Amino acid sequence: MQFNNKIFLKLKKEKNAIIIAHNYQIPEVQDIADFVGDSLELSKISNESKASTIVFCGVRFMAETAKILSPEKTVLLPVKDAGCPMADQISKEEIIRLRKKYPDAAFVAYVNTNADVKALVDICCTSSNAIKVVNSLKENQIVFIPDRNLAHWVSLHTDKKIVSYSGFCYVHQKFKISEIIKIKREHPDAEILVHPETPPDVLKEADFVLSTSGILKHVKKSNKNKFIIGTESGLIYRLRKENPYKNFYSLGTPKICFNMKKTSINDVYNSLINNKYEIILSPEIIKNAKKPFERMVKI
């Protein structure tokens, strides 16, 4: 079937739906989405939208977040098994164990966690507000889950004692110091922008450490015209589309999040036609997972 914007416009109207897509989605999906953004922007948009159905093109924890914030809405994840391997690295049993080990600590969960884990922590954060969130807490000891690289980045910007979990993103972990050394030699005049999920030795050599939408905003207002991008390759499509006169290079080989690439335009169409796959969470999980989010939004 040949898809065009008209088909989606008609379907969205019939279903009172919006399509939102993460910055890492494939170009065709980004192009038919009503909004493209980072985790924080997408959860805000789905919450503020008047639509009753949200088709969330991203990974499961993001769609779950939309459901937690707007339980009255139907939230659809077009591909059932589009998960985030990092989110699956920590379980609720692990949080219960850590709570016993660190009874005085505040527990901060990166948004890349499953809903049952969020339900057991004190506050959530995203890559764009993690430092602010940690510094807002009264506790001096912080258990930061699950990403050890984001935890390290936060630890450089706080006096608090960060107990980091051992999780990581297999995509960002692939960025290597040798790649940064090589590309700096090739493009000495370019600015290096990386996501905080990259390893500490790579972060250290970057000019700016930013969330995916943070990178987009930075590029838009910068008067430079050469940028080296250290995050999942999908962001480069959006950067080029929105900044046609600027130059973008991948930091080393393009790094691909396979789960982000699972959603095709056909899946988005099926999702709208057949209401697939609806995110279902228990009222108990929604109630408890909402608290750390509301606390985050307040700061």
Q: Under the rule (CB under 6 A), what is the footprint of ligand 13P?
A: 23, 38-39, 112, 126-127, 169, 195, 197, 211-212, 232
Partner touching 85 among ligand SF4, ligand 13P, none, CB below 5 to 8 Å by kind:
ligand SF4
Helix 234-242 to helix 212-221 angle (10° resolution) is 30
Q: Which residues contact ligand SF4 (rule: CB under 6 A)?
A: 59, 84-86, 112, 169, 171, 197, 232, 257, 259-260
What gap in Å lies between CA 23 and CA 18, rounded to an integer? 16
Tokens of 104: 């005085």
Contacted by 219, from ligand 13P, ligand SF4, none: CB < 5 to 8 Å by type = none
Min. distance of Cβ 85 from ligand 13P in angstroms?
Answer: 10
The single-letter DSSP state of residue 259 is T
Least distance from C-beta 112 to ligand 13P, angstroms? 5
105 vs 212, beta carbon nearer ligand SF4? 212
Nearest-approach distance from CB 63 to ligand SF4, in angstroms = 12
Residue 149 binds which entry of ligand 13P, ligand SF4, none, CB below 5-8 Å type-dependent = none
Nearer to ligand SF4, 160 or 195 (CB): 195
Q: Which is nearer to ligand SF4, 197 or 267 (CB)?
A: 197
Which residue has the CB atom at the shortest distance from ligand 13P? 38
In angstroms, what is the minimal distance from the CB of 124 to ligand SF4? 15
For ligand 13P, the closer of residues 139 and 191 by Cβ is 191
Q: Which is nearer to ligand 13P, 23 or 53 (CB)?
A: 23
In terms of CB distance, is 116 or 197 closer to ligand SF4?
197
In three-state secondary structure terms, 100 is helix
Rounded least distance, CB 296 to ligand 13P, Å? 13
- In this structure, are strands 106-110 and 141-145 parallel, antiparallel, or unpaired? parallel
Q: Which residues contact 270 (CB under 8 A, 6 or more apart)?
A: 78, 276
Pairing between strand 226-230 and 191-194? parallel
User: In angstroms, what is the minimal distance from the CB of 5 to ligand SF4?
Assistant: 27
CB of 201 to ligand SF4, least distance (A): 18
Euclidean distance between CA atoms 17 and 213, whole angstroms: 24
Q: Find where tokens 């049952």 sit.
A: 116
Q: What is the SS3 assignment for 103-141?
A: CCCEEEEECCCCHHHHCCCCEEECCCCHHHHHHCCCCCE
What span, in angstroms and rounded, lies between the C-alpha atoms of 15 and 227? 40
Query: How many C-beta atoms lie closer than 10 Å to residue 115's C-beta?
Result: 22
Which residue, 12 or 255, has its beta carbon nearer to ligand SF4?
A: 255
Residue 211: contacted member of ligand 13P, ligand SF4, none (CB under 5 to 8 Å, by partner type): ligand 13P
The span from the CA of 298 to the CA of 111, in Å, is 16
